């Protein structure tokens, strides 16, 4: 990919310069999208981890209540 400086020095003209600028903007936008996806993935992972932790806690509390109920009945 040609940089702005290469196009300008070679006298590539305004049209080539605009194409280069658009490519650079697209690359920057793609990099930003990739960063946002990374953030979304880490947020999703944190949500899933927290959700599983809450399920485990509920399961343990339920088992504890069940044991207490059985102990009262005996």
Is 7 a residue whose pLDDT tops 60? no
pLDDT digits (tens, 9 = 90+) for 17-70: 787 888 888 877 877 766 667 788 899 999 999 999 999 999 999 999 999 999
Alpha-carbon distances, residue 46 vs 34, 40, 49, 58, 59 (angstroms): 18, 10, 5, 18, 20
Domain residues for the domain of 42 are 4-73
Count of domains observed in the chain: 1
The whole-angstrom separation of Cα 3 and Cα 32 is 20
Is this model's pTM higher than 0.85 or not?
no
């Amino acid at each position: 990919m040609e940089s702005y400086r290469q196009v300008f020095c070679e006298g590539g003209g305004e049209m080539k310069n605009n194409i280069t600028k658009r490519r650079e903007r697209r690359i920057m936008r793609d990099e930003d999208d990739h960063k946002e996806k990374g953030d979304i993935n880490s947020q999703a992972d944190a949500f899933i981890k927290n959700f599983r932790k809450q399920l485990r806690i509920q399961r343990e509390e339920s088992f504890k209540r069940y044991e207490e109920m059985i102990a009262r009945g005996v």
